[in-house]
Amino acid sequence: MRLLHLVPTRFWQPDPLLGTRLIPGKEGWWTQEEHEFRVPIRINGAGFRDVEHTVDKPAGTSRVLVLGDSFIEALQIPLDATFGRQLERALNRSAGQGRYEVISMGVSGYGTAGELLTYREFGRAYAPDVVLLALYPGNDVRNNSPTLEPALRPEYDERGNLLRVTGAARKRGTGSRGLRSRLPESAAYEYLRKMVLTRHPALAQQLVRFGVVRPEALPQAPQVAGVPVDYWVYATKPQPQPAWEAAWRHTEELLGALQAAVEHERGRFIVAVVSAREIVYPDSWQQILDGNPAMRQIEWDLEGPERRVAQWCAAHGVLCVALWVVFRAHRAGAPPLHFEYDGHWTAAGHGLAAETVAAALLRSVRLTSLQGEH
């Protein structure tokens, strides 16, 4: 199992401010049960999945800092094919000379709260001319809610100011802890366990009955009224409505705080709305409806979250790049832009996103005029 890299490496560690962080210098492999990819991974010295960067900005260079979640972390594809690497090449190719540097700081599970803290703690030290936030409506709004988010919960003070993000504590039971306690380092056990849990739910239930597998190990997406929580962001009347209204309020306040922090450092704040597979490919959304019968009785507006983000950007003078529009236009006859099972961008998806953002930046921001301001 280890030689074939069938079990993904654990690349994250707890963090008191961000809830979780990538482990600097960690090396390993990333894969999943469907084996759509098997990728060698190395985390750089700063604790991000990117090439190494000096903190001091080279003379005559414009820097673009990319903040985001697992789409920017991009463990599913080789580093050279990721959005950040392809964006840097696209900018330099259009400019005719190597004057642009792109720094990626994406981490799985982060919402706008974690990305704001990442900028404050790490990103601004690199003096970026442009800070590009890759916002994924598919779960970022939920991530920003202290009540809807189950894993990395943001904490706010009484005025709504972000304090920290806390990771969910591991459950510790008493007595028998199942076979896992006796095979703590077995790659074969981990692989077979994942296969049973994801491919054979009936067998997994039996193993729970006999105490071989803990009940909390069974994959259970949090639901409200029979609908997975994440999909409520697309509903015209999400449930519970007060919680979603608060989640959107937190999201917009976090966007404002990030914009203010970037502009205070004389940078330019940009938002790119990341595409979701179910919005790009109609058959994917149909599969979701078929698998969740309760969703058929609800009114959905798949473009609603993107419109709301675009409206916020327009009201605050922020350039907003709607990647889902471009992805829809290029889906026919093109290589798959999203992985079928994993849902993240393929290398082709990263390339299309990079070319789209590069064109928008060069057209609207004129990065060359920013050189030398720091």
**Per-domain residue ranges for the chain?**
12-168+234-370
What is the C-alpha separation between 112 and 114, in angstroms, rounded? 6
Beta strands 319-322; 227-228: pairing state: unpaired
What's residue 371's pLDDT? Answer: 44
> What is the DSSP code string of 227-255?
EEGGGGGGBSS-SSHHHHHHHHHHHHHHH
Q: pLDDT digits over 234-276, tens only?
A: 999 999 999 999 999 999 999 999 999 999 999 999 999 999 9
pLDDT greater than 50 at residue 106: yes
What's residue 208's pLDDT? Answer: 63
Residue 319: which pLDDT band, with cuts at 50, 70 and 90?
very high
What's residue 364's pLDDT? Answer: 83
What is the C-alpha separation between 354 and 97, in angstroms, rounded? 18
pLDDT greater than 70 at residue 145: yes
Residue 156: which pLDDT band, with cuts at 50, 70 and 90?
very high
Look up tokens 């920013």; give the residue: 370
What's residue 199's pLDDT? Answer: 58
Neighbours of 322 (CB within 10 A): 21
Three-class secondary structure of residue 254 per DSSP: helix
Q: pLDDT digits over 166-215, tens only?
A: 987 544 443 444 444 445 567 666 666 665 555 556 666 666 676 766 66
What's residue 35's pLDDT? Answer: 79
- CATH superfamily of the domain spanning 12-168+234-370: SGNH hydrolase (3.40.50.1110)
Residue 368: which pLDDT band, with cuts at 50, 70 and 90?
very low
What is the C-alpha separation between 53 and 60, in angstroms, rounded? 16
Rounded percentage of the chain residues whose pLDDT exceeds 90: 73
Q: pLDDT digits over 285-316, tens only?
A: 999 999 999 999 999 999 999 999 999 999 99
